[in-house]
Structure 1
Amino acid sequence: MSILVVSVSHKTAPMDLLARLTLPADVTSKVLSSLLSSEHVDEAVVLSTCNRTELYAAVTRFHGGLQALTETVEQIVGISVETLQDNCAVFYDEAAVSHCFSVTSGLDSMVRGEHQILGQVRQSLNHAQSEGAVGTTLNALFQQALRVAKRVQTETAAGTAGRSLVTASLAELADRGIDVGGLRALVVGAGSMAALAAHTLDDRGAAVTLVNRTLEKADRLADAVGGRARPLEELTDALDHADVVVTCTGARGLRLTADDLRHTPVRGVVDLALPADVADEVGELPGVELVNLDVLARIAHDESGGIADGLGAGAGEIAEAEAVVAEEVKDFLGLRRAAAVAPTVVALRSMAQDVMTAELARLNARLPYLGDKEREEIQTAVRRVVEKLLHQPTVRVKQLAAMPDTPDYAAALRELFALDSAAIEAVSQSR
C-alpha cells in the first residue's frame, strides 16, 4: 500500500482559495466517506487548518488515487480539478512520509517551528479514526509523525521557542509601533487559537477580555488568564473598550468592517481566521494596523517564493530540526520496506513447510517399519535442515530491504521460488 498526499497550503495557493478549502467536521466526514468508496483508496485522513488543507490516502495505484482525491474535492467542496491541480503539491510514498513528518513538526508552517499544528494533526487523525477511515498504513505514518514532532519540540531550538501565528502577529504589531503590554486586548472566539492568543496576551501584560458565541467557554478561558468574558451580542460595546483585537473564529457569519471599528479606540487588529473575520478595508482606517493571514503569508515568503528567515525559526534552527526529521524518515522507511518483504518471507517459509510435510509423509509411506523414535529423529533432522537453509536468506532479505536504493530482493525470491502471488497477497491483507 502506497501513501499519497494532495496538499493545498500557504506555499501553493492564495488565501481566498484556502478559505474555500477550509473544511468543517461534517464536510470532512463526507470527504472521507467519498474517498473510501473509491476502489483505489483504502484509508484516508483530512488535515484542514488556517495554513493548509491536505488529503492523505493509502492507495493501491498512484493515478487512480490522485483522481479519486481531486474529484472528491471537486464534487464535495466545489473546487474544480483543474484549479486544484494548479494550486496544490502532490507527494507520493517516500516524499509523502517526509512531508507528513515536516508538517507535523511545524517545519512547513507559515511560522516555522510552531507547535499548534501538532494538536491539529492529532485531532485530524482522531476524526478519521472515528470515521473508520484509518488502517495500519496511515496509523503507523501519523503515530510516528506525532512522535517525531515531539522529538523536534524537545530536542531542537526550532521547537523550544514557543512560536505561533499569535506570536508572529504580535511581533508584526510591535514592529508597527503597537506593543500590547499594558493595553486592553479583546479576543474574539474561544477555540484553541483563541486560547493561545489569550494566554500570550496575558503573558505580555495585556488586560484580556473574551467574546464568544458560547459564554460558558469564554468564562472558562477568562478565568485561566484573569480576564473578563462577554457574550457575542456585546461585541460592539466590547470594541469600544479595546485597544487591540485578536479574532480567530473562522465563523462565516462574523465579519468586522471598517464601520464597526471606525469610531473605536482600537489601534491594532489581528485576524487569524480562515475564512477571515475582518474585512481588508479595516487596514485602511487611519491609525489602525491590520495583521491577517495574507500579511503573514507575505512576510513568510521571500521574493523567490521560498520560506524567508524572518518569520518563525531561523535557518540554523530549521536545519537542526530538519536533520532530526530526515533521520526519522530514513528509519521509518527502512522499517516500512522491511515490513513490505515480510509476506514474501512468510510465503517462502509456508511453501518450505508444505514441501517438508509432503516429503515426510512420502517417507512414512515407503518405510512403514520405522519406529516412532526413528521417525521423530528424521522429522527433527529435516526441519533443522530446512530452517538452516532458509534462515540466512530470510534474515538477509529483510536487512537488504530496509536499505534505500537496493534491488527488489523480495521480487527475486518470488521469482526464484515461484511463490504464489495470491498467497502473498493473503498474508499482506491479514497483517
Structure 2
Amino acid sequence: MHYLILSFTHKNTTLPIRDKLAFNDDAAKETFLARTLEAPYLNEAFVLSTCNRIELISSCNNPGEAAKHLFMLLHEHSGISLNELEGRAELFEDQGAIHHLFSVASSLDSLIVGETQIAGQLKDAYRFALERGHCGDKLTRAVNYAFKCAAEVRNQTDISSKPVSVASVAVAAARRAFGTLSGKRALVIGSGEMSVIAARTLKNHGAEVSLMNRTMAKIEALAEEVKGTLVPFTRLKDVLGEYDMIFTATSAEEPIIGGKIGLKKERECHWFDMAVPRDIGDIDHAMVTVHRVDDLKNTVDENIMLREEEAKASFAIVGRYTAEFYAWLKSLNIEPLIKELYRRADAAASTEAARVVGKGYVPEAYEAQAQKMALQAIKRFLHPQVQQLRKAADEGDIDAMIDSMAFILDMSEE
C-alpha cells in the first residue's frame, strides 16, 4: 500500500488554471471520485478543492499507474492538456505524501501561513468522501494523524496567533478598541476578498454585520452566509452614524466618505479604510478614529515575520509526527502476522491432540486437555519471539522482519 498526492497550489499554478481544476459542485466531485476508484491500482481517495489549492489525496498499490489515471481524469475534468498538468503538478509519495498532508493540515503550505480555515476545509473534503464510501482505513488513519499534528502545531507554537491579512488585522484592531465585538454594529462596504474576510471574521466575533455595495447582487450570498443586512449604497451618508465600525475596501478612484459628516448618535466610532486608493478622505470628528491601510499593512508585515519564525518550530513538529505515523503503521503491519502465527499454533495443537487420541496414546476423554497442553507449550515458545517482534516494530526497525515472516508464513501477497 502506498500514499499518493497530486498537488496544484498557488505555488505551481495560476488562478485561471486553478479555476478550471476546481470542483465547484458536489455532483462533479462525487463523479470524479467514483471514476478514480474504478482503476484497480487506486483504493481510496478524496479531493481538497479551495481557491488556492486542488489536491488529490489517495492510497494506491501502484503509484506510477495511479498518477497516470488521475492525470487523465483531471485532463477530462478541466480541459487542460496532460503535458501541462504533468509539468505543473507536485507529486508526493508515501512518507513525502504524509509530510505534505500534515503540513497542509497545519497551515504551513497555505498562501497565508498559519491561517486556520484550511483545517476545516480538509475535514469537510475528507468527510464528503468518507460518507460516500470513497475513503477507508488507510486515509482515515492519515487524516486523523494529520489533525493531531495540526492541533499540536497550534498548541505548541504561536503560528496562528497573529492575523496576517489587512482585513483580519483591521478586525483585531477593532477588538482591541472595543474590548469585545459582541453586539457591536459593523458596516462592510465592498464585495472583494478583504470585505469577505472582514464580514466573516466580524460575524465569528459576535458583531452584527451590514453589507453595502454598488452592485447588490454581488454581496447577496455573503449576506446570507453571515446573516447580515443589505444596505443600498445610495444611503451611505445617511447611515454612517448608525454603526460602531465601518470597514471599506472598494475599487473607487475617489474617496466615498469624506468632507462634512453628521453622526446621528454620539458614539465612539472606528472606521477602517482597507482600500488603495483610499475610500475615506480627511475626517474631522471627535468621535471618529480612522485607521488607514498603511498602518494596517505595517502590522501585517510584522506578523508575517513572526509567523516565519514560528514556522520553523512547526515544521519540526510535522517531521516528528510523520516519523511517528510511519512507525505506527509498521507496528500495525506486524499484528496480522502475529495473529496468523497464533491461529496456526491453535490449529497445530488441535491436529496433534486428535492424532495422539487416534493413536491411543491419550484416552479420548482427555482430548481437550491434550489440545490445551499442546497449545500452551507452543504459546510459551512463541511468546518471547512475539515480544521481540513488537519491540522491533515500536523502534521502527521492522521492514525486513515483516518481509521475512510473510515469506515464511507464505503470506507475501497478503
Same fold (TM over 0.5): yes
What's the counterpart of residue 223 of structure 2?
Answer: 218
Q: Is 1:396 paired with 2:388? A: yes
Q: Does 1:419 align with 2:410?
A: yes
Tell me the residue number matched to 2:79: 78
Change (3 A) 1:186 1:192: closer
Percent of paired sites with the same residue: 21
Say yes or no: does 1:345 pair with 2:338: yes
Give yes or no for the alignment of 1:188 onto 2:188: no
Q: Tell me which of 337, 347, 355 is aligned to 2:348.
A: 355
Structure 2 counterpart of 1:398, one-letter code: R
Cα 1:236–1:76, aligned 2, differ >3 Å: closer, same or farther? farther
Alpha-carbon deviation of 1:389? 2.0
- For residue 77 of structure 1, report the CA deviation from its aligned partner: 1.8
Q: Tell me the distance in 2 between the aligned counterparts of 1:336 and 1:193.
A: 45
Q: Deviations over 1:39-82 (max 9, x none)?
A: 11111110011221100011111111111111110111222221
| Contact 1:40/1:60 (<8 A) preserved | yes
The separation in 1 between residues aligned to 2:338 and 2:221, in whole angstroms, is: 58
Aligned residue in 2 for 1:58: 59
Aligned equivalents of 1:340 and 1:411: distance in 2? 10
Q: Distance in 1 between matches of 2:372 and 2:349?
A: 11
Contact 2:187–2:210 (Cα < 8 Å) also in 1: yes
Query: What amino acid sits opposite 2:371 in the alignment?
Result: Q
Match of 2:256? 265
SS where residue 30 of structure 1 aligns? helix
Give the counterpart letter for 1:343 in structure 2: P
**CA offsets 1:304-328 (integer angstroms, 9 cap, x no match):** xxxx997475332112222222222
Q: 1:201·1:208 contact (CA, 8 Å) conserved in 2?
A: no
Structure 1: which amino acid aligns with 2:189? Answer: L
Amino acid across the alignment from 2:3: I
**Any idea what SS the aligned residue of 1:19 has?**
helix
Instruction: Verify the 8 A CA contact 2:195 2:248 in the aligned structure 1.
Output: no
Give the conservation status (yes or no) of the 8 Å contact 2:186–2:209: yes
1:17-45: CA deviation from partner (whole Å, max 9, x where unpaired): 22222221332222211101111111111
* Aligned residue runs from structure 1 range 2-81, under 5 A: 2-26=2-26, 27-81=28-82
Structure 1: runs of 5 or more not aligned: 172-181, 248-257, 271-282, 289-298, 300-307, 426-431
Residue-by-residue CA offset, 1:64-106 (whole Å, 9 max, x unaligned)? 1111111110111222221112111111111111111110110
Superposed displacement of residue 161, structure 1: 3.0
SS in 2 for 1:96: helix
> Who is 1:122 aligned against?
123
In 1: Cα distance, 2:44 partner to 2:158 partner: 35
User: What pairs up with 1:278-357 in 2 under 5 angstroms?
Assistant: 311=304, 313-357=306-350
Unaligned runs of 5+ in 2: 173-184, 241-245, 258-271, 280-296
Task: Determine the C-alpha separation between the residues in 2 that align with 1:411 and 1:199.
Answer: 53
What is the TM-score with the length of structure 1 in the denominator? 0.70
The amino acid that maps onto 1:412 is S
- Which has the larger Rg? 2
One-letter amino acid matched to 1:318: A
> Is 2:381 the counterpart of 1:380?
no
Q: How many angstroms apart in 2 are the aligned matches of 1:138 and 1:119? A: 17
Deviations 1:281-337 (A, max 9, x none): xx8xx668xxxxxxxxxx9xxxxxxxx997475332112222222222222211111
CA RMSD of aligned residues (A): 4.0
Q: Give the alignment's TM-score, normalised by structure 2.
A: 0.73
Shift of 1:236: 9.0
SS for the counterpart of 2:226 is: helix
C-alpha distance in 1 between matches for 2:34 and 2:332: 28
Letter matched to residue 350 of structure 1: R
Instruction: Call closer, same or farther: CA 1:358–1:188 in 2, change over 3 Å.
Output: same
Contact 2:9 / 2:54 at 8 angstroms: preserved in 1?
yes
Matches within 5 A, 1:241-252: none
Q: Offset at 1:411?
A: 0.9
